[in-house]
Homo-oligomer: A and B are copies of this chain.
């Protein structure tokens, strides 16, 4: 209320901002409420006062960041589909609708957005109810809409293949977006050639790669090692007709997140 700390923002939004960064960098379990409150310059009780619990604070971060992004994506997709009622939509525009809002919201403006990809990345990395049930449902709905749009845009690729490829897009997308706040491994591996802070460049790199990949020819059916490759023999041999083979012995009830 008072105007005391109006310059820096009130305590609540300071906590939101600082904790988003700390959680994104180190993960939920690695950060204590003491880490947050001390770095935010507020007292220890503030997190519980404003957000009831550390868990609730985490949920609220996703609410704040993810929902608007998903709505922007859907708005773009709506527009694309509205303009292509008769013809099939342009796959590049669909990919851009998926990717660009994330990158764009990462430059300037509000200070939290850059951390969303990394927080999402962690959602896949650990089995933990990071986001509320409702947000998770909305999330899947958005993904399904994009998959269906891509399937219509690229009719020569089967629906199943589109699903695989959508997921590979997602993985590449998240890893690249995530690298700047974390390992910075791409800059290192490329000897500084790849600047993971250059939003427009990231976008064009992704679009080029994903568009080629997602529209490319279908995989050779599971007769293995078809066309060109010579047989590779390695220590653990790999006789030609390896059967599908089940894997993973125990996985009682994987939290569906």
Could you list which residues of chain A lie within 8 angstroms of chain B, going by C-beta atoms? 21, 25-27, 29-30, 72, 75-76, 79-80, 83, 90, 92-93, 96-97, 100-101, 104-109, 111, 114, 118, 121-128, 140, 143-144, 147, 159-161, 163-176, 178-186, 188-190, 193-194, 197-201, 203-222, 224, 228-230, 232, 234-236, 238, 242, 244-251, 254-257
Besides the contacts A121-B124, A165-B205, A171-B171, what 11 more A-B pairs have beta carbons closer than 8 Å? A124-B125, A126-B182, A143-B185, A147-B189, A164-B186, A167-B186, A171-B175, A171-B176, A175-B175, A200-B244, A204-B219
The answer on a CB contact under 8 Å between B199 and A247 is yes
Instruction: Quickly give the copy total for this chain.
Output: 2
- 11 pairs, A vs B, C-beta closer than 8 Å: A26-B127, A29-B29, A72-B236, A107-B245, A107-B246, A107-B247, A111-B249, A167-B194, A170-B172, A171-B174, A212-B212
The answer on a CB contact under 8 Å between A75 and B235 is yes
The answer on a CB contact under 8 Å between A199 and B245 is yes
Q: Is the interface of A mostly helix, strand, loop or mixed?
A: helix
Residue ID in chain B nearest A178 by CB atoms: B124
The answer on a CB contact under 8 Å between B126 and A30 is yes
Which chain B residues border A217 with CB–CB below 8 Å? 208, 212
Which chain B residues border A93 with CB–CB below 8 Å? 228-230, 232
CB distance from A44 to the nearest CB of B (A): 20
